Amino acid sequence: MTTTPVRPPTAAGLAVELTDLTRVYGSVKALDGLTLHLAPGELVALLGPSGCGKTTALRILAGLDQPTSGRVEVGGKDLTRVPANKRDMGMVFQAYSLFPHLTVLENVAFGLKLRGKDAGARRKVAQEKLELVGLSEHGSRYASQLSGGQQQRVALARALAIEPSVLLLDEPLSALDAKVRVQLRDEIRRVQIEVGTTTLFVTHDQEEALAVADRVGVMNAGRLEQLAPPAELYSAPATKFVGEFVGLSNRLPATVQGGTASVLGRDVPALDGSTSGPGFALVRPEAVSVVADADGGATVTAVMFLGPLSRVTCLLADGTDVVAQLASSDALRLQPGQAVRLEVEPSPVLVVAG
Ligand code: ADP
Ligand code: MG
């Protein structure tokens, strides 16, 4: 996870309000009462598994699709029935969508021509946006002469050239290899903060969502399960779905009574949304510590070295596997077969029923 970048004082974006959106395709409810508000200049990542309705939400915000019911407002104006070409939104999709027969500069200037800007103004703005994405030297090339990552930066420059009120990104990094994906992710964030455009970033990749967003909205089956800053989403999941979808969690037998969960013999606060009575606590690997103890009731089964951190897998007497993430200096003192005691840190946990 990254720290939250400092916002410039002059973020110029508009508020976006999606209210109670539904979208029905035949027997499929792609959206089922989605309500999502973005503050001016905010970057919200919509995160969820394939088919949960992310693209449908983005297309409805763009005006490329109509909701069955519900409302779309930008900057306080109701745009629900306004056509896409009057909505003033910049878009970047997963597939490279540059025009192959135009140069990079012409690609970036394309939307300005549609808006009736003269050639000189088009060139100036396009050159500025290419500079913003670090490609000012590549204006005269054709798309086919660029790498995938460069093409997506051109697509971003093109989306920003019209100085949109809202920027929409639908899995913009999914076609790129891992290293370029991280570089471009950070670059998108830098540029977005610089221009201050309110941005909806759709992804199925949780690490990407947590790294890039002011707030992450987790979607499941057409609904928003939780909308929260990345660190809060991670440390205080509101639902079972969020707890299991975001990050890696152990499921440890637990009992909840009066807001307190008993896990591995320790009492910790139970998060809102927890079940009561017996259930399973969702406990992060980094919240488990492993202590050598001949009577500890658990056994180390594997130690996996990951660099500064290591992952230690243990088996409880009841057959539960528990994964702990420890500093390698601690983990490397442990051996498979060794008897240990497991402890959870005293931070709040979500306890789910099944
Ligand atoms: P995501 O982007 O999260 O993967 P989508 O918004 O594309 O999900 O799709 C949500 C659901 O709506 C899926 O079940 C999908 O099959 C369905 N769907 C999307 N678009 C259409 C369409 N044009 N016609 C029929 N079903 C659709
Ligand atoms: Mg999609």
The domain of 135 spans 16-235
331 pLDDT exceeds 70? yes
Confidence of residue 75 (pLDDT cuts 50, 70, 90): very high
pLDDT tens for 117-154 read 899 999 999 999 999 999 999 999 998 899 999 999 99
Domain count, the chain: 2
Ligand 1 lined by 55 (C-beta under 6 Å): yes
Is residue 6 predicted with pLDDT exceeding 90?
no
Ligand 2 center–CA 93 separation, angstroms: 10
Q: Is the pTM of this model over 0.75?
A: yes
Q: Which of these, 97, 107, 116, lies nearest to 135 by C-alpha position?
A: 107
Residue 263 lies in a domain: yes
Going from the C-alpha of 187 to that of each of 16, 137, 156, 192, the distances in angstroms are: 23, 17, 10, 8
- Please state, as a whole number, how many other Cβ atoms lie within 10 Å of the Cβ of residue 318: 7
d(CA 195, CA 178): 26
**Measured in angstroms, how far is the CA atom of residue 48 from the centroid of ligand 2?**
9
pLDDT digits (tens, 9 = 90+) for 16-25: 999 999 999 9
So what's the pLDDT on residue 2?
43
Asked if residue 195 and residue 324 are part of one domain, the reply reads no
Q: Which residues, including other chains, have CB under 8 Å from residue 266's CB and lie 6 or more apart?
A: 343, 344, 346
Asked if 209 and 257 sit in the same domain, the reply is no
Residue 230 shares a structural domain with residue 308: no
Q: What span, in angstroms and rounded, lies between the C-alpha atoms of 301 and 5?
A: 40
User: What is the pLDDT of the chain when averaged over all its residues?
Assistant: 93
Asked whether 51 lines ligand 1 (CB < 6 A), one says: yes
Cα three-residue angle 266-272-275, rounded to 5 degrees: 70
Is the pLDDT confidence value at 9 over 50? no
d(CA 167, CA 196): 10
Residue 336 within a domain: yes
- Tell me which residue has its CA closest to atom 1 in ligand 1: 51
Paired strand residues for 331: none
Same domain, 177 and 87: yes
Please report, for the domain that includes residue 302, its CATH number. Answer: 2.40.50.100
Same domain, 189 and 323: no
Q: 350: which strand partners?
A: 282
pLDDT reported for residue 11? 52
Read off the pLDDT of residues 230-249 as tens digits, 9 standing for 90 and up.
Answer: 999 999 999 999 999 999 99
| Residues 98 and 120 both lie in one domain | yes
Distances in Å between the Cα of 49 and the Cα atoms of 60, 209, 242 are: 19, 12, 11
In sign, the C-alpha dihedral spanning 236, 238, 240, 245 is negative
- The per-residue pLDDT for 5 is 47
User: What's the CA-to-centroid distance between 258 and ligand 2, angstroms?
Assistant: 41
How many residues does the structure list for the chain? Answer: 354
Among 23, 25, 61, 218, name the best residue to mutate to test ligand 1's pocket (greatest count of ligand atoms within 8 A of Cβ). 25
Same domain, 215 and 86: yes
Nearest CA to ligand 1 atom 20: 56
Q: Is residue 243 in some structural domain?
A: no
Q: Which residue has the tokens 């025009």?
A: 99
Residue 2 located in a structural domain:
no
- Quote the ligand 1 centre to 152 CA distance (angstroms): 24
Residues 246-300 have pLDDT tens digits of 999 999 999 999 999 999 999 999 999 999 999 999 999 999 999 999 999 999 9
Cα 40 to chain centroid distance, Å, stands at: 18
pLDDT at residue 1 in the model: 42
- Name the pLDDT band for 3 (thresholds 50, 70, 90): very low
Contact 221, 260 (CB under 8 A): no
Any atom of ligand 1 within 6 Å of the Cβ of 218: no
Index of the ligand 1 atom closest to the CA of residue 58? 6
Q: Is the CB of 220 under 6 A from ligand 1?
A: no
Are 222 and 272 within one domain?
Answer: no
Q: Are residues 211 and 331 in the same domain?
A: no
Residues 271, 201 within the same domain: no
Q: How distant, in Å, are the alpha carbons of 60, 98, 176, 208, 209 from that of 151?
A: 25, 7, 10, 19, 21
**Are 119 and 155 found together in one domain?**
yes
Q: Report pLDDT for 114.
A: 82
Residue 327 Cβ < 6 Å to ligand 1: no
Residues 38 and 174 grouped into a single domain: yes
| CATH code assigned at 88 | 3.40.50.300
Task: Name the DSSP letter for residue 332.
Answer: T
Residue whose C-alpha is closest to residue 242's, from 288, 200, 209, 198: 209
